[in-house]
Amino acid sequence: MTSDPQPVHLSDYRPFPFRVEGAELTFRLNPSATRVLSRLHLVRQAPGDLRLDGERLEVLSLSLNGQPLSLTPDATGLTIPAALIPEGPFTFEAEVRIDPAANTALEGLYMSGGMYCTQCEAEGFRKITFYPDRPDVMAPFRVRIESDLPVLLSNGNPVAQGTGWAEWHDPWPKPAYLFALVAGDLVAHRADFVTRSGRPVDLAIWVRPGDQDRCAYAMDSLIRSMRWDEEVYGREYDLDVFNIVAVDDFNMGAMENKGLNIFNSKYVLASPETATDDDFARIEAIIAHEYFHNWTGNRITCRDWFQLCLKEGLTVFRDQQFSGDMRSHAVKRIEDVLTLRARQFREDAGPLAHPVRPDSYVEINNFYTATVYEKGAEVIGMLKRLVGDEGYATALDLYFTRHDGEAATIEDWLKVFEDATGRDLTQFARWYTDAGTPRVTVSDDWQDGTYTLTFRQETQPTPGQPEKPPRVIPIAVGLLNPNGDEIVPTTVLEMTEAAQSFRFEGLAAKPVPSILRGFSAPVVLDRKASPEERAFLLAHDTDPFNKWEAGRALAKDVLARMVTEGAEPGPDWLDALARVALDESLDPAFRALALRLPGEDDMAQTLHEAGVTPDPQAIHAARRRMGRALALRLRPQLPALFDTLREPGPFTPDARAAGRRALRLAALSLLTRLDEGQAAASAYRAADNMTEEVGALACLLDIGRGQEELGLFQARWQGDRNVMDKWFALQVLHAAPGEAAATAERLTRHPQFDMKNPNRFRSVMGALSGNHAGFHHISGAAYRLTADWLIRLDPVNPQTAARMSTAFETWARYDADRQAMIRGELQRILAAPGLSRDLGEMAGRMLG
């Protein structure tokens, strides 16, 4: 056994002692023996050896200023002793051989369906050649690709090409993690764009032949993103071409390589027949996200990987603003909060909790998390709320002018806000350095026309952080009078102490407070409100987020009592919800969200926080009873709700049409609980788009039917990888708790199951952990199956194995038997021979 991998610490950061003035790379592509020639032009900046990162490189030659170097690299790189390095500029050259066809980890240069592609973030470039593979070393790149394949792409602008070769030049200095190369038999979907200062840009989305008719939506999203960044942030594109490539084998969603974004094909390809409304919305958001990185990530990058949230939190915040502008801010905010709670609150409450800016890691790939991304975006939202829209705009302008071309830190980012607005952000910085979700409890008092709200904040200890000093929390509050009129419009209260009161004077009657409007801070709000008050806010709140939240809180109270006391849903909840569901003055998308019952994993976390050990089976059963009660309450209206929302004419993916389909499917799902699936079976056959096809199939699977439809689906779609992923996932996600593991196990034996393809692996194993009652079934079968497959995947693709292991992060919520079983599986993973640093770190942290 090798010794345990050592953690990297933020406090150990040292600047690199050399500058790279230019990097010239030549690739002679060959599936199992690609040659990479690199010539680096370097200048010394400070004393010291020259350390270059490099992993699994077969060295063919090394030289310094043309003189051969007889040095032997170690397992992680090459050290050129200071004594060998001349004063002044010098050139280092290397020729290495690598094996893209054997690269199943999908990091560095690899092959996917006959094409070559790269993934370098975070530390993949060192698997291509020797280089200072760290984000604060920025250089212009020249790339020559030699291959018989027809399409040869790299970063920047095309310089020249001939038969069997092409040359690219990227004038913008960039870190190696933004390097990209693609070579393949690809076709382009093209469009033109002219930036607002008049620069023409050739846009192209490159896909495998046959997929070119599924690129229109991604292209339209790209054009809207480019325009939006000009209009809202004043940011223009800066090259002559912008290329996007779709690949089937990809560990993540997409990657913002300069001028050459590489995408998981599921976030590019879409047609009404193959993509759901959620797919369309995600494509729009991810295209925007990667494009927005051109300024927030590429032009201004991160000094080191601890600063990851500098680019990710900001870019998520920007893509959320964009989606809100394109669609509905209210609906987008509710969806974003649902995701934040499901992923980030869950992470923050368990053994993997870490600050938005972590201060140590073993494997950086394990820190592309909901905390860095989604909480990182929430922190920026709070900052904007605190300094106001104008302060935010001024600060962002200053950020772009001050740091363009640099590798920056969170301190730089906060300093910009301090300088632009004059605000002291010392306490605010805790949002970056302290892990954990604050819990804010509220009490109120009413006396002589004065209404007082008292807040207390408390954050539980997280790994390595026992003390949690109070944070600045912007709490947006509005007050309604008993008639439902708003008497105090939204006001942002700034909480800075552990306990703090705020007074509203001169009121005629005791108001009803609407607290944390728009989800103004990523906290758990603990307010013991009566069902009447919640129903009142659900009916009257003018803040759409809190209107929805009131219904949600009501539903969670009802569900909690169903689980713990065996209660049945009473008329107050049913009537309040029915009113919203049937209120035609409301956006159908909002009504659909209101009808969505609380998730089982969310309920388990809520019960755990209330001191109740969650029983996954009991939660599942109660939630089904809840759905049936709602269906019975709405029975007379359901058929009409389903029929009248039918969209006339051809499918359009816009938010309005998608919202109508969402409500229609919510009605179908309720109907299915009453008619044994008759309506869903005919909806399946009548569906002319993937949203309804999948929606109807899910309804059927939920009640244990749909076998015939699964067969029809497979027969129709077996040639389409992205659509077949849905077929795999649906069966596992909607399996009965006792059958989920067996269903997943059976699917792993399906001829189209391939663990080397991350999408396919996730569609089975990710779906299994997404089926809460199935994953936590007391037999332990799902725990075992998941651990078996993580151990099997780890040597093939450690990054994806590590990511999927978060299925186990919630073990501490459950009863002793389940805890023992999960911990046993984590031990078994830790004991696996040759375990990767990635999965080893995750299992170790989860065991504590």
d(CA 531, CA 550): 9
Q: Which option in Zn ion, ligand PHE, none does residue 368 bind, with CB closer than 5 to 8 A by kind?
A: ligand PHE
Select 119 or 221, whichever has its Cβ closest to ligand PHE. Answer: 119
Select 122 or 283, whichever has its Cβ closest to ligand PHE. Answer: 122
Whether 290 is catalytic: yes
Select 155 or 459, whichever has its Cβ closest to Zn ion. Answer: 155
Q: b vs e for 404-427, b when ≥16 Cβ sit within 10 Å of the residue's Cβ?
A: eeebbbbebbbbbbeebbebebee
Q: b vs e for 252-275, b when ≥16 Cβ sit within 10 Å of the residue's Cβ?
A: bebbbbbbbbbbbbbbbbbbbbbb
Tell me which residue has its CB nearest to ligand PHE: 252
Least distance from C-beta 311 to Zn ion, angstroms? 7
Select 292 or 789, whichever has its Cβ closest to ligand PHE. Answer: 292
Select 112 or 605, whichever has its Cβ closest to ligand PHE. Answer: 112
Residue type, 105: A
Select 265 or 520, whichever has its Cβ closest to ligand PHE. Answer: 265
Least distance from C-beta 799 to ligand PHE, angstroms? 8
d(CA 216, CA 74): 48
Q: Which option in Zn ion, ligand PHE, none does residue 254 bind, with CB closer than 5 to 8 A by kind?
A: ligand PHE
Q: Which option in Zn ion, ligand PHE, none does residue 378 bind, with CB closer than 5 to 8 A by kind?
A: none
User: C-alpha dihedral over 628, 633, 637, 639, to 10 degrees?
Assistant: 20
* 226-234, 237-245, 306-314, 796-804 -> range binding Zn ion (CB under 5 A): 306-314
Helix axes 655-675, 616-634, angle to 10 degrees: 100
Rg over alpha carbons for the chain, rounded to the nearest Å, is 27
d(CA 548, CA 596): 11
Least distance from C-beta 255 to ligand PHE, angstroms? 4
* 186-194, 229-237, 308-316, 763-771 -> range binding Zn ion (CB under 5 A): 308-316
Least distance from C-beta 286 to ligand PHE, angstroms? 7
d(CA 705, CA 692): 17
Select 85 or 287, whichever has its Cβ closest to ligand PHE. Answer: 287
d(CA 377, CA 205): 28
* 312-320, 321-329, 650-658, 753-761 -> range binding Zn ion (CB under 5 A): 312-320
d(CA 306, CA 840): 20
Least distance from C-beta 101 to ligand PHE, angstroms? 21
Q: Which option in ligand PHE, Zn ion, none does residue 363 bind, with CB closer than 5 to 8 A by kind?
A: none
Select 312 or 601, whichever has its Cβ closest to ligand PHE. Answer: 312
* 309-317, 364-372, 693-701, 835-843 -> range binding Zn ion (CB under 5 A): 309-317
Least distance from C-beta 663 to ligand PHE, angstroms? 31
**C-beta of residue 152 within 8 angstroms of C-beta of residue 134:** no
* 110-118, 315-323, 799-807, 818-826 -> range binding Zn ion (CB under 5 A): 315-323
Select 367 or 455, whichever has its Cβ closest to ligand PHE. Answer: 367
**Sign, CA torsion 374/376/377/383:** positive
Tell me how many residues contact Zn ion (CB under 5 A). 2
Least distance from C-beta 136 to Zn ion, angstroms? 18
Q: Give phi and psi for 817, each to the nearest 5.
A: -65, -50
* 58-66, 93-101, 141-149, 305-313 -> range binding Zn ion (CB under 5 A): 305-313
User: C-alpha dihedral over 381, 383, 384, 387, to 10 degrees?
Assistant: 160
Least distance from C-beta 221 to ligand PHE, angstroms? 15
Q: Which option in Zn ion, ligand PHE, none does residue 264 bind, with CB closer than 5 to 8 A by kind?
A: none
d(CA 379, CA 381): 5
Least distance from C-beta 116 to Zn ion, angstroms? 23
| Opening angle at CA 41, ends 38 and 45, nearest 5 | 135
Gap between the terminal Cα atoms of the chain: 21
Least distance from C-beta 308 to ligand PHE, angstroms? 9
**C-beta of residue 823 within 8 angstroms of C-beta of residue 808:** no
- Whose tokens are 């490099």? That residue is 54
Residue type, 637: Q
Catalytic residue among 107, 123, 256, 290: 290
The DSSP secondary-structure symbol of 296 reads B
**C-beta of residue 717 within 8 angstroms of C-beta of residue 727:** yes
Helix axes 678-686, 690-702, angle to 10 degrees: 160
**C-beta of residue 777 within 8 angstroms of C-beta of residue 740:** yes
- 579: part of which helix (H) or strand (E)? helix 571-582
Select 122 or 595, whichever has its Cβ closest to ligand PHE. Answer: 122
Q: Which option in Zn ion, ligand PHE, none does residue 119 bind, with CB closer than 5 to 8 A by kind?
A: ligand PHE
Q: Which residues are at the interface with ligand PHE (CB under 6 A)? A: 119, 121-122, 252, 254-256, 289-290, 312, 368
Residues within the interface to Zn ion (CB under 5 A): 312, 315
| Residues labelled as active-site residues | 290
